[in-house]
Amino acid sequence: MEFVYNNKVHVATCQTLFELDTGQHLCLGVEPTKTLTVEAVDTFARQLDCAQEEAKAALEWAADNMEQYYDQNWPNLQNYSSNHPMKKLVHK
């Protein structure tokens, strides 16, 4: 189950968790292998930092989006009166 979760492209980041963590795509052994050239370590580190920054920005955007939705759709209970007293709704 963990493998499936880490290999799934997430909507918020548009990348897999494995790719964000390691900076490379996971090879399952089923698809044909590609010939890759060896990258310099500093280039690889910059690409990994860039991917993590993009993921961080996407997650912050998603959090802001959820907060706006929550603020718009949460009922204002300040002027709510009820015949059924509940401890949660008692005016303080």
pLDDT in tens, 11-70: 778 888 878 888 777 766 666 556 556 667 788 888 888 999 999 999 999 999 988 888
Judge whether 67 lies within some domain.
no
Higher per-residue confidence, 45 vs 91: 45
Q: Look at residue 46 in the predicted model and tell me its pLDDT.
A: 87
Task: Provide the residue range defining the domain that includes 11.
Answer: 1-26+37-61
> CA-CA distance, 33 to 27, in Å (whole number)?
8
In whole angstroms, what separates CA 10 from the centre of its chain? 7
Running DSSP on this structure, what letter comes out for residue 29? Answer: S
Q: Is the pLDDT of residue 74 over 90?
A: no
- pTM of the prediction? 0.42
Judge whether 50 lies within some domain.
yes
Q: Look at residue 53 in the predicted model and tell me its pLDDT.
A: 92
> CA-CA distance, 3 to 35, in Å (whole number)?
24
Q: Look at residue 8 in the predicted model and tell me its pLDDT.
A: 77
Judge whether 69 lies within some domain.
no
Q: Look at residue 41 in the predicted model and tell me its pLDDT.
A: 77
Judge whether 66 lies within some domain.
no
On whether the CB atoms of residues 20 and 55 are closer than 8 A, the answer is yes
Judge whether 76 lies within some domain.
no
Q: Look at residue 16 in the predicted model and tell me its pLDDT.
A: 82
Domain count, the chain: 1
Q: Look at residue 62 in the predicted model and tell me its pLDDT.
A: 92
